[in-house]
């Protein structure tokens, strides 16, 4: 075989290899990410959902605190980032759906400051109905009354000093672990 014939064959092989490579790239470009190849890296956004609810103090004779503001974390957003999007308010109580202060959470904050004897009323815990497994009180809010029905109805349990902070798990919340639908916070 002559040198010329050998070069022509190598040139054809290179063209064929180049064609195969381009075809592979075209196929890979058409396949959605994560379908072919290595498993995708875990999402940084795989996290618990955290909310902050800001309440107004009860006016005389009222039983429901008006929600002044409520925001929850977006996909991939941390609780610290959420706090940065809101005006700082006094933390009253924080509750979690996990037994040991973990999982999804809601921070209840007072637009008008801490608790007094009237306190703050939450007649419907919304997404946290029948989910609270642990909580902590802050500042002057040292009494938490949980109800197993909305609008402060049904069976109830009150947590007051020294029992009120922190309360966790089935033993601590018994018989209210994953049962609370409404709550009342106040200073005693």
Same domain (yes/no): 21, 55: no
Same domain (yes/no): 89, 13: no
| Cα gap 59→105, rounded to integer Å | 27
Same domain (yes/no): 104, 156: yes
The CA-atom distances, in angstroms, between 50 and each of 27, 83, 88, 128 are: 41, 10, 16, 11
| Cα gap 156→166, rounded to integer Å | 18
Query: Cβ distance 17 to 49 under 8 Å?
Result: no
Whether 45 is in a domain gets the answer no
Same domain (yes/no): 99, 156: yes
Query: Cβ distance 81 to 50 under 8 Å?
Result: no
Name the CA dihedral angle for 16, 17, 23, 26, rounded to a multiple of 10 degrees: -140
Give the residue carrying structure tokens 């349990």: 157
Tell me the sheet residues that pair with 134.
96, 168
CATH number of the domain that residue 112 is part of: 2.60.20.10
The boundaries of the domain holding residue 164 are 50-186
Same domain (yes/no): 173, 127: yes
Instruction: Report the pLDDT value the prediction gives residue 161, as an integer from 0 to 100.
Output: 74
pTM: 0.70
pLDDT tens across the length of the chain (188 residues): 554 544 455 555 545 444 444 343 333 333 344 333 333 333 333 479 999 999 999 988 999 999 999 999 998 999 999 999 999 999 999 999 988 888 999 999 999 999 999 999 999 999 999 999 988 889 999 889 999 999 999 999 988 876 555 665 545 787 888 999 999 999 98
Same domain (yes/no): 68, 121: yes
Same domain (yes/no): 122, 75: yes
Total domains in the chain come to 2
**Where would I find the H helices in the chain?**
3-30, 79-84, 169-173
State residue 40 phi and psi, 5-degree precision. Answer: -65, 150
Same domain (yes/no): 28, 66: no
Whether 160 is in a domain gets the answer yes
């Amino acid at each position: 075989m002559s040198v010329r014939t050998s070069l022509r064959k190598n040139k054809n092989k290179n063209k064929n290899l180049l064609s195969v490579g381009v075809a592979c790239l075209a196929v890979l470009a058409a396949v959605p990410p994560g379908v072919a190849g290595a498993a995708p890296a875990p999402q940084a956004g795989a996290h618990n959902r955290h909310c902050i609810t800001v309440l107004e103090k009860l006016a005389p004779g009222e039983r429901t605190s008006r929600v002044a503001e409520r925001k929850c974390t977006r996909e991939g957003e941390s609780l610290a980032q959420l706090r940065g999007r809101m005006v700082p308010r006094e933390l009253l109580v924080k509750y979690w759906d996990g037994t040991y202060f973990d999982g999804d959470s809601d921070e209840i904050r007072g637009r008008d400051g801490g608790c007094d004897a009237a306190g703050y009323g939450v007649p419907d815990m919304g997404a946290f109905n029948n989910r609270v497994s642990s909580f902590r009180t802050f500042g002057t809010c040292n009494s938490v009354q949980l109800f197993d029905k909305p609008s402060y109805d049904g069976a109830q349990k009150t947590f007051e000093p020294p029992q009120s902070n922190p309360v966790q798990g089935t033993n601590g919340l018994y018989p209210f672990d994953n049962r609370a639908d409404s709550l009342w916070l106040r200073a005693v």
